[in-house]
Structure 1
Amino acid sequence: MTNLIQILIFSSLVLLAFLSITNLCKVNRKANSWFGITLLLWSLFWFEEVAQIAGWSNINPVVIKIVMFLQFFSPLSLFISITFFTNPNYNLEKWFPFLIGTPILYGLTLIMQEQNGYNLTPISLWLLLLHALFFITKSLFKIRKHKKLTEASASNTEDINLQWLEYIIIFMLTIAVLSSILSALFYGAPLNLYLGLLTLGTIFFIGYYLLNQKEIYPLKTEHRLQVLALSNGKQQIIQKKKVVSEEKLVELKAKVHSFMNEKKPYLDNEINLAGLSEQLELTPHQLSYVINTGFNENFFRFINEYRVNTAKRLLTEADFNKFSMLAIAFESGFNSKTSFNTTFKKITGITPTEFKKRGSTL
């Protein structure tokens, strides 16, 4: 049974890597390509076991060293993938020393062990550990920063906040720690089987979310560049800098307010800064300035306050008494019951169900 699980883990990672690199949905291209490379590198951690199961009992030590060297790149590859998810226009030049420096040092330790018989295992293990910890930590911080900044340009952040990548990193770290403890304490096969099943479950989790991940940023180059500027820490600079005059700001504020009440663009659950700015015939830069400075809010809260107000009206109207919470959520512009409950409570301090029970007109 353990052999079957190992084969399934290896083959699933290779298949997912192929799907990610070929990217049939044509979304987040750079990020998906690098994530596919990461999955391939992860699959190499089961290479030796699968090779032995396949009958390749005497594996050339050089092949093992090459596999170990390639495994070293997996945290870096994951970090690059996450970087491109959060900013597809990112320039990797500043990471060039890490791309060649640390791997070369690690490769030299492997070569010296193989050719000269030096016992450099402690050094190579420390290099591997520090390298992995550095890039995994950087990846987690980058995801959490991205989650906060998506509110500058998106009204629904569930599909673009990369929460699933954070869960994957935590799952894989947990599995790695448990595997290390079990290896050190020489626990038996049953526990290894459970870890294998946990790993396989994590891979299925990766597959589901990877294939369902939407394009995070607008496809139009001009819109993408402006939204990226807002979503990568430049929003406060834009707020401080006058994009339009005071008179023009008042005019644009009235225009936006009127448009929101008449056209109700917030009922589109996929509306984002680029889409709304196009409808208003403004640039994302200008619309963001109006919302931040004129309404003193970010885009996420600005749109969702309209949705919450719509939901509150529907929850108190007799005609909608028979509607489920999910139906109310869709009618108000939310794309799921989870986002409806979370956002409603964030803005009003209570859940939609509590609001309905109170019969309040908050």
Structure 2
Amino acid sequence: MSTLVPILIFSSLTFFSFLSIVNPRKVNRKANLWFGITILLWSTFWIEEAAKLADWPIVDPNLVNAILFLQFFTPLTLYISIIFFTNPNHKIKKTGLVFLITPLLYGTVLFLQAEISLNTYPLTLGLSLAHSLFYISFSLFKIRKHQKKNQDFSSDTKEIDLEWLKYTIVMILTITIVADILKTTSYYSSLSLYLDYTILITVYSSGYYLIKQKEIFPIDKKQREDVLSINGQDLHINRKRRLFSEEKLVELKSGLNRFMIEKEPYLDNEINLASLSNQLGLSSHQLSFVINNGFDENFFNFVNRHRVEKAKSLLLSNLSDKYSILGIAFESGFNSKTSFNTTFKNFTGQTPSEFKKNSSVL
């Protein structure tokens, strides 16, 4: 069993790497390509166990160094994949070659170690740790920034917030640190199997969410460019860069408010900034400006405020006896009970059930 688990980890990682690179759903294409490369590089950390099972022990020092050199790129390819998850229009420029300096330095040290039998382990370990922590830190920062900004263009951020990717990175980092600490003690041999099980669970859960991951930004090129130009701009910047006069802003605000009340576009649980702007005949950038400056809200809060008001009216009506809480959620434009409960409580301070109970008492 102790040999089987590492083999399962290696085979699972190579399988999920294949799925990510082939990308049968054709979503987040560049991000999935680079993430697939990352998973493939990650799988090489268990290649020795796979080779032993196949009676092909890795003994050639040059082959070992080649594998170590490839493994060194794992944090970098992970960071590149996250860049494309959070900005699919990103262009890799020639100046990006500067990021190859550390890998080339690492490769040079490995070469010197093989050629002149110099003990460079402390140096390679230091380079690996610094390199990994640098890109992991920036990867987590990128995801956190994305999570804050995706409310500018989406009414339901749960499917596009990359929370699963953040947890995967944190889990891998935690397991690596624990494993390195345990290696200095006598407990490692007895606990290593449990670490492998934890890694295997992390691999399968990450693979599940990778396959489920939706396209984060609009497919249409113009809509995507509009949304990306907004993503990252805060409310104060939008106020300084005025797109409309005060009179025009008041007119558009009134028209938008009337449209939301009469047409109820928020009942579409997949509505986003691009689709709503199309219905209004505005660009995504213009609609974002109206919402930010006219209502002092981001797109997420603007749409979900209307959904919550719709839900409140349903909960207070006779229909609440015919619908379950999940039914009320769907009728209000939410696509899950969890998001309904969370959003409703954020706006009202109560869960839908508490609101209904307290209202019936009054």
CA distance in 2 between counterparts of 1:46 and 1:117 reads 25
SS at match of 2:232: helix
Question: Distance in 2 between the 1:283 and 1:59 partners?
Answer: 61
- Could you tell me how far 1:190 is from its partner in structure 2? 4.3
Q: Which letter does structure 1 place at the counterpart of 2:305?
A: E
On the 8 A contact 1:312/1:361 being kept in 2, the answer is no
Q: What residue is the counterpart of 1:241 in the other structure?
A: 241
**Which residue matches 1:59?**
59
| CA drift at 1:105 | 0.4
Q: Which amino acid aligns with 2:129?
A: L
The whole-number CA distance in structure 1 between the counterparts of 2:203 and 2:70 is 20
Q: Percent identity?
A: 54
Structure 1 residue 260, shift from structure 2 partner: 0.6
8 Å CA contact 2:38–2:74 kept in 1: the answer is yes
Deviations 1:140-170 (A, max 9, x none): 1111111010111110000011111111011
Stretches of structure 1 that go unaligned for 5 or more consecutive residues are none
Is the Cα contact below 8 Å between 1:31 and 1:82 reproduced in 2?
A: yes
Query: Equivalent residue for 1:135?
Result: 135
TM-fit CA distance, 1:357: 1.7
1:236 CA drift (Å): 3.7
Q: How does 1:1-362 map to 2 (within 5 A)?
A: 1-93=1-93, 96-187=96-187, 189-233=189-233, 236-359=236-359
The 2-side partners of 1:100 and 1:80 are apart by: 13
Equivalent pair of 2:38/2:77 in contact (CA under 8 Å): yes
Report the 3-state secondary structure (helix = DSSP H, G, I; strand = E; otherwise coil) of the residue aligned with 2:3: helix
Q: Which amino acid aligns with 2:225?
A: L
Moved more, 47-56 or 89-98: 89-98
Q: Out of 48-57 and 118-127, give the one that drifted further.
A: 48-57
Matched residues in 2 for 1:312 and 1:54: separation? 63
Secondary structure of the structure 1 residue equivalent to 2:233: helix
Determine if contact 2:151/2:299 at 8 Å carries over to the other structure.
Answer: yes
RMSD: 1.7
Secondary structure (helix, strand or coil) at the match of 1:323 reads: coil
Q: How many Å separate the matches in 2 of 1:263 and 1:94?
A: 49
CA shift digits 1:161-186 (9 cap, x unpaired) = 11111110111111111221222213
Q: Secondary structure at the match of 1:119?
A: coil
Q: Deviation at 1:234?
A: 5.8
**Contact 1:253/1:294 (CA < 8 Å) preserved in 2?**
yes
Asked if 1 retains the 8 angstrom alpha-carbon contact of 2:48 and 2:57, the reply is no
SS at match of 1:50: helix
Write the distance in 2 (CA, Å) between the matches of 1:213 and 1:230. Answer: 22
State whether residues 147 and 161 of structure 1, in contact with CA within 8 Å, keep that contact through their aligned partners in structure 2. yes
In 2, Cα distance between equivalents of 1:188 and 1:304:
50
- Aligned-pair CA distance for 1:58: 4.8
How far did residue 4 of structure 1 move?
0.9
CA distance in 1, matches of 2:361, 2:231: 35
* Distance in 2 separating the partners of 1:218 and 1:343: 24
Task: State the shift of 1:318 in Å.
Answer: 2.2
Q: Offset of 1:232 from its aligned partner?
A: 2.4
Given that 2:86 and 2:143 are in contact with CA atoms closer than 8 Å, whether structure 1 keeps it comes out as yes
SS of the residue 1:2 aligns to? coil
Confirm or deny: 8 A CA contact 1:229 1:235 kept in the other structure: no
CA distance in 2, matches of 1:90, 1:182: 40
Q: Which amino acid aligns with 1:299?
A: F
| 240-249 or 22-31, larger mean C-alpha shift | 240-249
Normalising by structure 1, report the TM-score: 0.96
1:305 and 1:361, CA in 2 relative to 1: closer, same or farther beyond 3 A? farther
> Could you give the per-residue CA deviations for residues 39-58 of structure 1, whole angstroms, max 9, x where no partner exists?
00100110112112221125
Deviations 1:97-145 (A, max 9, x none): 4431000000011000000111111011000000000100001111111
